[in-house]
Amino acid sequence: MQFQAELTDLFCGEANYSWCQRAEFNLPDGASNLAIMRAAKKQLGLSNVRCRKSDLGDTIELRPYGSPTVAFISPCY
């Protein structure tokens, strides 16, 4: 299964998209949310960064602690 991850900046706590870093990656079908988050963080250069996770249905939102950024992870259909 293919996933897309994007990392962008925040303005007043909301995604701003004045810049954006995108990545696509593949994982086996049925991969756990933890495996998806780890792969996305690796692709975005956030491997050693603690994040707050929110599950938004098909999309996972990661907010790195101490950074005015947000990452969105979603499957590609």
Helix (H, G, I), strand (E, B) or coil at 76: coil
What is the helix (H) or strand (E) element at residue 53, kind and residue range?
Answer: strand 51-55
Residue 77 confidence (pLDDT): 83
Residue 37 confidence (pLDDT): 96
Number of structural domains in the chain: 1
Q: For the segment 17-60, what is each residue's pLDDT rounded down to a tens digit?
A: 999 999 999 999 999 999 999 999 999 999 999 999 999 999 99
Structure tokens at 49: 């960064």
The residue range of the domain holding 30 is: 2-75
Helix (H, G, I), strand (E, B) or coil at 59: coil
Whole-model pTM: value is 0.93
